Amino acid sequence: SPSPGAALLAAAAAPSRGAAAMATGCLAVRPPARQGSCAGVESDVESERLLGAPTSDDEAAGPLGRRLVVAVATLAVVSFAGLVLEAFREQPKLAADMQTEAGLSVIGLQALGVYAAPVPVAASPLSSITANDFWAVHDLLLLGYDAYFMKEGSEGYAAVQKGALELAAMMQELHPYAPCRQQIGAAFTAAGGLGRPGLIAAAGASWACLPAQYDTSSIKTPFVPSLLGAGFKAQKTRMSAPFDLGTLGACSTSAWPRTCSFWVTMHAMARRADAIGASARFLNALLPVLAGGVTMCGGCTVHLHALHKPVLPPAVMRDLGPVH
């Protein structure tokens, strides 16, 4: 059965029907001209096919050919349904049942057409990921440690902070961009390792290590260490984002740049965690951080609790505070 990390990645990988490929620098899925490109870098996992790249079968039967097949099949179903309905027009209930079945068949065939016709590489958000899209690792660590929606001082609050500290420790293994793995690891160790100073140092390094070399002057309303434990005062950082969205790739047009960065980063790290056998450790640290309110979105947090109740620590479920 697939590992938890593979399941997390599947939702992102499915639209492009490509195998996830991680380069030693970063995801090898962006155009060479993009900042932070990893073109030509050897893969550090077993699969080297780029996300979004068509298979030989896709090339042999492209989108037009597949959609023509679906169109013909749909027409045949509709025509057959019409004949059946005409034959049973004197029997309204039977006709209604047949109409419903025919409608479901058409919908199913259309859905098959959407699946069968591969998404063009240029249209796939995953194909435009750049190293700078991982900028919100900084907030994943700091905001994660802040446990924004948890009751301060509670057992659940401590569990969320523990998850954030463990994520900080894993960045030297799991960050998708190799220079960041090295620099974050060095900063984390120099600041004493597992603890609040180490986490703060890792967060700072996670900006500086990227091609754009972000800092507080290049991020709109950044979440900074002085806001840890500040409660509602941190609300102003809810829509934090780089001033220059042009430095981003997949997240450059997102209405929620930080959340986009979170999701891109988590999927990329899940793929890497699978490759090195760290999936369980990664998810055990990540899920409490998400449940603690790292998105600063009350509805998102409540939904996450509802959907992940079987795998969340009971204390995290119990000690969730007011959300907004």
| pLDDT by 10s per residue, the chain, length 324 | 444 444 444 433 333 333 333 333 444 333 333 444 443 333 333 232 333 333 343 334 444 555 555 555 555 555 555 555 555 555 655 555 555 555 545 444 444 444 444 444 443 456 789 999 999 999 999 999 999 999 999 999 999 999 999 999 999 999 999 999 999 999 999 999 999 999 999 999 999 999 999 999 999 999 999 999 988 888 899 999 999 999 999 999 998 999 999 999 999 999 999 999 999 999 999 999 999 999 999 999 999 999 999 999 999 999 999 998
DSSP 8-state class, residue 33: T
Residues 107 and 159 in one domain: no
Give the residue carrying structure tokens 């981003």. 248
- The set of residues, in sequence order, having a beta carbon less than 8 Å from that of 240 and lying 6+ positions away, is 139, 219, 220, 221, 222, 223, 257, 258
Q: Which of 110, 98, 36 is nearest to 73 (CA)?
A: 110
CA dihedral 219→224→227→228, nearest 10 degrees, is: 130
The domain total for the chain is: 2
Residues 96 and 177 in one domain: no
Calpha distance 182→180 (Å, rounded):
5
Backbone angles phi, psi at 196, to 5 degrees: -60, -45
Residues 100 and 196 in one domain: no
Domain range for 112 is 63-117
In a domain, 310, yes or no: yes
Residues 200 and 104 in one domain: no
Sign, Cα dihedral of 259, 215, 192, 44: positive
Q: For residues 281 and 171, is the Cβ–Cβ distance under 8 A? A: no
User: Quick one: tokens of 297?
Assistant: 């979105």
Residues 287 and 140 in one domain: yes
In a domain, 125, yes or no: no
Calpha distance 293→34 (Å, rounded):
32
User: How far are the Cα atoms of 184, 205, 295, 302 from residue 172, in angstroms, in the given order?
Assistant: 6, 11, 23, 31
Give the residue carrying structure tokens 């840890």. 228
Give the residue carrying structure tokens 């799991």. 174
pTM above 0.85, yes or no: no
Residues 68 and 154 in one domain: no
Residues 99 and 171 in one domain: no
